[in-house]
Amino acid sequence: MAINVDIQPAVPVVNDDTKDAVVIDSLTKIFKKSRPLLRWHKKNAGQKEEKREVRAVDNVTITIKRREIVGILGSNGSGKSTLIRILSTLLIPDSGHVSIFGYDVVKNDRTVQRLINRVSVEASFFKKLSPMENLIYAARLYNMPGDEARLEIRRILGRLGIKPDRIGAPLENMSRGMQQKVAIARAFLTAPIVLLLDEPTTGLDPRSKNDVQTFVRELRDEHDATILITTHDMDEAEALCDRVAIIDQGRIVALGDALALKRAVTGIMGRSEMVTMHEVFMHYTAAHLITETDIERYGSWEKAFEAFEAQREDDEE
């Protein structure tokens, strides 16, 4: 199913097939916690200064090709959403560069905004308004005429399983899952060529998850969209993504197609059967990257993992 939305940008956006879709180069974003008004202790000032800094994204480099679906896996607070926000022009990085089809997200933010859309984990809407009112508002911001937008909205919402009688009723009366579907419809409506999905299926039932995944694939296959998706769902990452990046404490610690990552970890763990994506994730986000030497030293991957986790807890105390 094609999503045919003709958006006419003010300045023709050069959507060069030969260019990489998303180029992230040495990207770093540090957040500083606010200082307390009164400081009683001045000891270890340097150490405290460091603790006030949160390195949300730490020297990340990745290139995503046109029509590629790349999954970002990471624990809570690992920097996934910060990365998505930088790509969405909502955050300005401290260092490094991000370009989307050659347009810098900071210098050419308006051009980038025409190329992208985003779905976040929270379905952010005017809850008293209906799905139609919310989506018409979004469509007009992206230069869609009202009549055309209304037809598209009905079609996409129908495709996502939202009944026609719900389209005009306030969103506050809908379940979280239904609201999330409307959020997904909002992103699809503007036919982005780069779609940023930040845990889009969190809270959805299995059937709805399936609908969304099918829709994402169709968007790529028929609209040539490039998709960056963050998720906690390992099955989803494996089923949907051409490549998977695992991010831990702001750094990309593994990148490759799911099968290659599984093979690599299976080898490290010395298993005869292929490990799961869950085990791949646990391996790369362990307190300390477990090597074959560690496995030899502790007797097994699991024992090494437990030992390093215990050590991390001690360090944190």
Partner 1 sequence: MSSLMHQGRATYAFFERNWNLTRRYWGWELVWLVYNIVNAMSVTYIGLSAQLITGVKINTNFFILYLLIGTAVWSYLSVTFDGVTDIINMERWEGTIEYTFMAPISRFTHMIGSCMYAVVHGLLFTILQLLIVGVFFHIDLSHANFVTAIVILLLGSISFIGFGIATAVLPLLYTEKGMQMSFIVRAVILLVSGVYYPVEALPQWMHPIAYASPATYVIEGLRAALMRNQPIWSPEILSYIWPLLLTGIISIPVGIYIFGIAERYAKKTGKLKRNG
Q: Which residues bind partner 1 (CB under 8 A)?
A: 8-11, 31-32, 82, 85, 88-92, 110-111, 113-114, 116, 118, 120, 122, 124-129, 133, 136-138, 140-145, 170, 186
Please answer whether residues 167 and 153 qualify as being in contact, where contact means their C-beta atoms are separated by less than 8 angstroms.
yes
Please answer whether residues 287 and 311 qualify as being in contact, where contact means their C-beta atoms are separated by less than 8 angstroms.
yes
Between 14 and 90, name the residue whose CB sits nearer to partner 1: 90
Rounded least distance, CB 83 to partner 1, Å: 13
Rounded least distance, CB 11 to partner 1, Å: 8
Please answer whether residues 119 and 98 qualify as being in contact, where contact means their C-beta atoms are separated by less than 8 angstroms.
no
At position 85, the amino acid (one-letter code) is: R
For 4, counting Cβ atoms within 10 Å of its Cβ (0-12 exposed, 13-18 middle, 19+ buried), the class is exposed
For 203, counting Cβ atoms within 10 Å of its Cβ (0-12 exposed, 13-18 middle, 19+ buried), the class is middle
* Adjacent-strand bridge partners of 25: 97
Task: Give the Cα separation of 67 and 64 in Å (integer).
Answer: 9
Rounded least distance, CB 29 to partner 1, Å: 8
Beta strands per DSSP E along 145-259 = 194-198, 226-231, 243-248, 251-256
Rounded least distance, CB 263 to partner 1, Å: 38
Rounded least distance, CB 91 to partner 1, Å: 6
Between 97 and 263, name the residue whose CB sits nearer to partner 1: 97
Between 33 and 43, name the residue whose CB sits nearer to partner 1: 33
Please answer whether residues 307 and 298 qualify as being in contact, where contact means their C-beta atoms are separated by less than 8 angstroms.
yes
Q: Which residues of 129-166 are buried (b: 16+ CB within 10 A; e: fewer)?
A: ebbbebbbebbeebebeeeebbebbbebbebbebeeeb
Between 2 and 169, name the residue whose CB sits nearer to partner 1: 169
Rounded least distance, CB 73 to partner 1, Å: 21
Between 101 and 142, name the residue whose CB sits nearer to partner 1: 142
Rounded least distance, CB 31 to partner 1, Å: 6
Between 134 and 213, name the residue whose CB sits nearer to partner 1: 134
Between 111 and 285, name the residue whose CB sits nearer to partner 1: 111
Task: Give the Cα separation of 48 and 135 in Å (integer).
Answer: 46
Rounded least distance, CB 245 to partner 1, Å: 22
Between 126 and 297, name the residue whose CB sits nearer to partner 1: 126
Hey, is 53 helix, strand or coil? strand
Task: Give the Cα separation of 79 and 313 in Å (integer).
Answer: 21
